[in-house]
Structure 1
Amino acid sequence: MRPTVFLRAGMAGVLCAAMLTGIGQAPAQAATPLSIRGADLSTLQRAEDLGARYSNQNGTQGDAMQILKAAGMNYVRLRIWVNPASGYNNQAKVVAFARQVKAAGLKLLVDFHYSDTWADPGHQATPAAWRNDNLSQLETAVYNYTYSVCDALRAAGATADMVQVGNEINSGMLWPVGQLTGGTGGWSNLAGLLVSGYNAVKAVSASTQVMLHIANGGMDSQARWWFDEAVAYHVPFDVIGLSYYSYWSGTFSGLQTTLADLASRYGKPIVIAETAYPFTLGNADSQGNNISSSSQLTSGYPATEAGQRTNFLAVINAIKAVPNGRGLGYFYWEPTWTAVAGNGWDPTNPNSGDGWDNQALFNWSGQALSGITDFAN
């Protein structure tokens, strides 16, 4: 996910009728909570350092991570960049925050972008320090870097429970060498890089699960093609990860089809690694929001607190419906990224704003919205 550029084709959200019982009235829920009820809190550390304050639904101020945990969150996702200009989301910061995650009794997913900045289907820039490396050198760099981070987490008492080897790598990673189209790579190169990352994770902790993560979770043909190629090139993985934003990633019925197909075809558990929805079309800072117009919304889900909550719950119900219990869970993307001066999207520009403030699960005063109650599902 890269929050300030529209990367995915805009698609009209066609809601599966079985998932909607009316805005403000939650869709029917399965009785058993999912094993992964997570949130990506990658901007929270910087927000807190800059003085952000959070409170629960009753207005009682407290620690954002603890507020989310009390609501039912049990897993935290943290992205890591190689050498970001801001100094945040680097190894030292991630290890320090991971210790807090573990001290809070939560599990940890580490999301390797293998870049100095955002990596997603349209951007996979090789870190500056590796820019002139050939394939063999990049495979070594990926292994050594991944091992270094995972080993530092282990030494800090914060061993990762799960690791993503790449972020939304539909088009590959570490461009152009690991690029699937338009670069010098192709699947053979990408496979070598992914195997290096997998092997490094397992060398530190054999029990850490490795996820391969792509975007557009409602587009089954794309997902099937990608994972068919990964299997054909003998890329090992433990978990399938999909991003699903109903305004970008295909219909809810398409999501359900994709989840069922991939679970059956590859026999692997599946996680919705990213999802979110706006509670307003308003804007809290000078940075334009990614979703700012009613024409971008999913049909049946207004940009209201109730609309956000029911959209989130529809995603949860979709992962619960995966056959044979292979739907592990989900991560809400950046629920604490409220507009805080200095905590903008661009790591090279401290004056940049936040294009996600209207999709957080806390309002502009830092008070929790009703969407946090979905973590209990």
Structure 2
Amino acid sequence: MKKTLLLTLCCILSLTITAQKYVGGDISMLKKFIDEGAIYKDYDDQPVEPLTFFKQQGWNAQRVRLFVDPANATDTEKKEGAIQDLEYVKALGKSIKDAGLSLMLDFHYSDTWTHPGQHGTPAAWKNLTADQMATKVYDYTKNCLQEMIKAGATPDFIQVGNEITDGMLFPTGKISNSSESWDILVNLIKEGIKACNEICPQAKTVLHTELHNYDMVKTFYAKMANATVQYDIIGLSYYPDFHNSLTVFNTLLTQLETTYTGKQIMIVETGYGFEYQLAGAKYNFTSTYPLTDTGQQKFTKALIETLNTHERVTGLFWWYPEYNLNGIINKTGTEDWSKDFTSGYWNGALFWPRSGYPLSAIKELKSFLGGYSGIETIRSSSQQDGIWYTLDGRRLNGKPAARGLYIHNGKKIIVK
């Protein structure tokens, strides 16, 4: 009898384990800003080491991009931040790991920026065939990961490509309506994942898309499923200025979560302005989220409330939070653009750029991790509301599809 009770208890406890959640930022420029003399402040207006400060605000992970040879990027691209070669990333990655934070490594597989409209093949790879390109992706990924491990910067998450909604390594891996183009892309991705699994078997692999075309995003992951690509996490970029409202985004999350029940979902890039809209914005939500510190925080809160209704959404990363000119402004008070670290103002930063003082959204982000008191809180506040909750207090859209122990109408319910 005791043995049976113990076994039953163990089964229940195993089902109560919820996925670890991660929150942080893509801080790829942090090392450069610090090298240039940037001074970051805390909420008491005192100088602070930024990684320590982020951790104090509840952040537990950071993301860093990696280019093949950014020396080949244009001067404009370098000023915009396309500077992260392997040596740079090893140093920054080690700092992140030494700070006790998880690391997401973002392979761009290019010498410069990649996004759906641009995936330039590295100069050294230009003359390779499709098969040779796949082999190069494997060899390059393997070598970089081995070097990261040696440097004490072992990644916990690895993106095999950045915003690859339309493919990667153009023109070789650019997708079209032909099955052949998809086959080439799948082979490139599989070779990258193969290297990740061999060198960093504990790391989770991420396939990252951008939401310029919601139908294309759904097509992409359907193609990956049909080709039996073995990855762990669906990675998404979401910027309301370009990708529409949280309502539209929420619908996609529900569709992905329902269709790919074995995958976690992470928002690996997001951002919203606090003074100006992002350049080239297609949508305007300033009546709901004013372009102020408070408005940016309000957007962050609304985003997190949306994400926390999805049990499989386990990651949230703010893009370029570290933009900060404090300490690298000349005596007349204007920006000194002689420094080759950026050519313009990233309006979605999380520090006031001229003072280095942190914006309110930094401390808001930690609410993605929970901030609830668990089962007892749910019982007291909404025990008969008909809504399903995880044990850490996250509200779900409906009855969960995943096995586990949940709260529903004030009772613990096992979903098998």
Shorter-chain TM-score above 0.5: yes
Q: Which residue number corresponds to residue 311 of structure 1?
A: 299
**Does the aligned pair in 1 maintain the 2:270–2:319 contact within 8 Å?**
yes
**Does the aligned pair in 2 maintain the 1:255–1:318 contact within 8 Å?**
no
**Does the aligned pair in 2 maintain the 1:211–1:238 contact within 8 Å?**
yes
How many residue pairs were aligned?
Answer: 329
Q: Displacement of 1:354 after TM fit?
A: 2.6
Q: Displacement of 1:312 after TM fit?
A: 1.5
The sequence identity of aligned pairs, in percent, is 34
Q: Deviations over 1:56-75 (max 9, x none)?
A: 12201011121111111110
Q: Displacement of 1:301 after TM fit?
A: 0.8
Q: Deviations over 1:274-314 (max 9, x none)?
A: 10001102xxxxxxx84388974454111100111111122
Calculate the aligned-residue CA RMSD, in Å: 2.5
Q: Displacement of 1:222 after TM fit?
A: 2.8
- Report matched runs for 1:189-208 at 5 Å: 189-208=184-203
Q: Displacement of 1:150 after TM fit?
A: 1.0
Q: Which residue number corresponds to residue 20 of structure 1?
A: none
86, 90, 96: which one aligns with 1:91: 86
Q: What is the alpha-carbon distance in structure 2 between the residues aligned to residue 351 and residue 89 of structure 1?
A: 11
Q: Which runs of 5+ in 1 are unaligned?
A: 1-31, 282-288, 343-348
Q: Displacement of 1:34 after TM fit?
A: 6.9
Give TM-score, length-normalised by structure 2.
0.74
Q: What is the alpha-carbon distance in structure 1 between the residues aligned to residue 19 and residue 114 of structure 2?
A: 31
Q: Deviations over 1:178-214 (max 9, x none)?
A: 0013999611100000000000001102111000000
**Does the aligned pair in 2 maintain the 1:275–1:312 contact within 8 Å?**
no
Matched residue SS, 2:25: strand
Q: What is the alpha-carbon distance in structure 1 between the residues aligned to residue 193 and residue 29 of structure 2?
A: 26
Q: What is the alpha-carbon distance in structure 2 between the residues aligned to residue 119 and residue 183 of structure 1?
A: 22
Q: Which residue number corresponds to residue 372 of structure 1?
A: 362
Q: What is the alpha-carbon distance in structure 1 between the residues aligned to residue 44 and residue 128 of structure 2?
A: 53
Q: Which residue number corresponds to residue 44 of structure 2?
A: 58
Q: What is the alpha-carbon distance in structure 2 between the residues aligned to residue 122 and residue 339 of structure 1?
A: 30
The residue type equivalent to 1:350 in the other structure is D
Q: Which residue number corresponds to residue 250 of structure 2?
A: 256
- Report matched runs for 1:32-71 at 5 Å: 35-71=21-57
Q: Deviations over 1:204-257 (max 9, x none)?
A: 02111000000118x643322110011112222100001100111122111111
The structure-2 alpha-carbon separation of the partners of 1:213 and 1:301, relative to structure 1 and needing over 3 Å to count, comes to same
Larger CA Rg, structure 1 vs 2: 2
Q: Which residue number corresponds to residue 167 of structure 2?
A: 172
Give TM-score, length-normalised by structure 1.
0.82
The residue type equivalent to 2:226 in the other structure is A
The structure-2 alpha-carbon separation of the partners of 1:275 and 1:184, relative to structure 1 and needing over 3 Å to count, comes to same
**Does the aligned pair in 2 maintain the 1:56–1:67 contact within 8 Å?**
yes
231, 244, 248: which one aligns with 2:225: 231
Q: Which runs of 5+ in 2 are unaligned?
A: 1-17, 72-77, 330-338, 368-416
Tell whether 2:354 aligns with 1:359: no
Q: Which residue number corresponds to residue 240 of structure 2?
A: 246
The residue type equivalent to 2:302 in the other structure is A
Q: What is the alpha-carbon distance in structure 2 between the residues aligned to residue 132 and residue 299 of structure 1?
A: 51
51, 66, 74: which one aligns with 1:80: 66
1 or 2 for the larger relative contact order (CA 8 Å, sep ≥6)?
Answer: 1
**Does the aligned pair in 2 maintain the 1:297–1:303 contact within 8 Å?**
no
100, 120, 123: which one aligns with 1:125: 120
The structure-2 alpha-carbon separation of the partners of 1:306 and 1:292, relative to structure 1 and needing over 3 Å to count, comes to farther
**Does the aligned pair in 2 maintain the 1:35–1:329 contact within 8 Å?**
yes
**Does the aligned pair in 1 maintain the 2:27–2:321 contact within 8 Å?**
yes
- Report matched runs for 1:156-171 at 5 Å: 156-171=151-166
Q: Displacement of 1:132 after TM fit?
A: 1.2
Q: Which residue number corresponds to residue 28 of structure 1?
A: none
Q: Deviations over 1:72-128 (max 9, x none)?
A: 111000000000025831111101111110110000000000000000011100000
Q: What is the alpha-carbon distance in structure 1 between the residues aligned to residue 341 and residue 366 of structure 2?
A: 36
